[in-house]
Chains A and B, each alone.
Chain A
């Protein structure tokens, strides 16, 4: 495996690693893996490294890097808001990769990495695909999360024996449960639900624009993660079932948790991503 460490960005303070593809067939395309929250660029359970090396075997170049202030990278010295950093720094990295001959990019990430991938894909035309794994924070309204959790509690947890065992053995987030129930009740009268609906429509519009641009989108969702409910809100239909419409696909991994802690689930994720990415890059 041929890997190279780089210092990306204007200040050369963004630490990243380029995993070179085993062949030069698709040398103008690179996958960019974005941080899952505060976990540094190797990814949760080293998943980014495993994905990068699997893609290299399939002829695809991959870069993983740390956003400023996360992992190995230094903090920024300007006052750029964090929601702007989410797409500006992938752009800085793409600019540097452009100087190395890369022209097309596929962005991917887990959790907040999915959010940053989405925003980057919306913003830049050289992004041809995005893999959004357990996306959480598309809609910038706190009550959106509450509604997603409420949907999960009513539709799933209430019929799940393990959820009840967890409830009575202290293995759940009681604060979130009570907050959800409280906000659900008060939300009926406050009009906040309307605010969620408006914002959800904005995000749906952004997804539609990506589909119009023929940007390939893959949503990968874990059964144990609330992103299933969150995305169902946006798409407007049940996202649990595998579906394919135009350039958008979604896949569901039964039993998996938010960060794919079980090794069997990690293997499934790597398999899904590498097959999809190869298909997008090769066009076959």
Chain B
């Protein structure tokens, strides 16, 4: 790169081909537990002294689709603060290999573990900050809590017990069916707003409980969208473990509830996260 121009609030860099770039992006595939996974990274916009990079873990299904824009913006914001940031698609989701109906929570945990290694390798950093949204937050906690190279977690409306999630998805699907004037033949929930819900994922969700997860991480930021006893207990649990835990309750955080066309990027929440990390 041959120069940097400050253009209002964004940085525009002029590269060797004499064209302009507002950010340094890279899209790539990597091997995660023997599967091809799609990753997209934002490189820091200036030479940075940051010792850690950031890995972002998406939610799943229709929530992934609704949140993609917000998390992509978060990635860009972090790059402007000097962080190498990587997002990736789980097996069976986004551009990654496989079919959504063949995926499982255990597979996705393996994907997160592999992505953490790839993020470190590509950025050259020794430590990671992991940001997860909804199920992405829960899976990241489960997959990475035992590792010594995680500096901090940002848990954005984590799913602590999945019974609530299944109930919520079920309501959304029935409401959608009813608005279109049809009713599913199946009594069990086998699809949610365009994405299948396999019996394997359903069973794994029923069994999932992150509320008592043990972790050796130093710092955690918990963002939540409503008053919730479960979350309060979880924050206390983390504090008991000696984790420096920050908690923020903001209804602006519910980015997954709106479909992509209506979703507003919650810059208030993104600023909160970028300032905290």
Contacts and interface: CB of A to CB of B under 8 A. Distances in A.
Contact of A263 (B178, B180, B194): B194
The 6 closest A-B pairs by CB, nearest first: A45-B194, A162-B181, A5-B27, A77-B20, A261-B194, A15-B27
B232 interface: no
A241 to B, nearest CB: 21
A32 interface: no
A98 interface: no
14 contacts: A3-B29, A3-B38, A5-B27, A5-B29, A7-B26, A11-B21, A40-B72, A45-B65, A45-B194, A71-B69, A74-B23, A77-B12, A255-B182, A266-B194
A220 interface: no
B261 interface: yes
A257 B180 contact: yes
Interface residues of B, number: 38
Does more than half of chain A's interface fall in helix, strand or loop, or is it mixed?
Answer: loop
Interface of B: 12, 19-23, 25-29, 36, 38, 40, 62, 65, 68-69, 72, 89, 93-95, 97, 100, 176, 178-182, 191, 193-196, 260-261
Interface string A3-20: 111110011110111000
Nearest to A76: B22
A38 B179 contact: no
Given A39-B260, A72-B27, A74-B21, A49 B191 contact: no
Contacts of A39: 65, 260-261
Most central of B62, B94, B193 by chain A CB within 10 Å: B94
Q: In which size bucket is the chain A interface?
A: 35 or more
Given A171-B179, A266-B194, A7 B21 contact: no
Contacts of B194: 44-45, 259-263, 266
A268 interface: no
Interface in A47-85: 49, 71-75, 77
B12 A46 contact: no
A95 interface: no
A5 B260 contact: no
Interface in A206-247: 224
B36 A3 contact: yes
B39 to A, nearest CB: 8
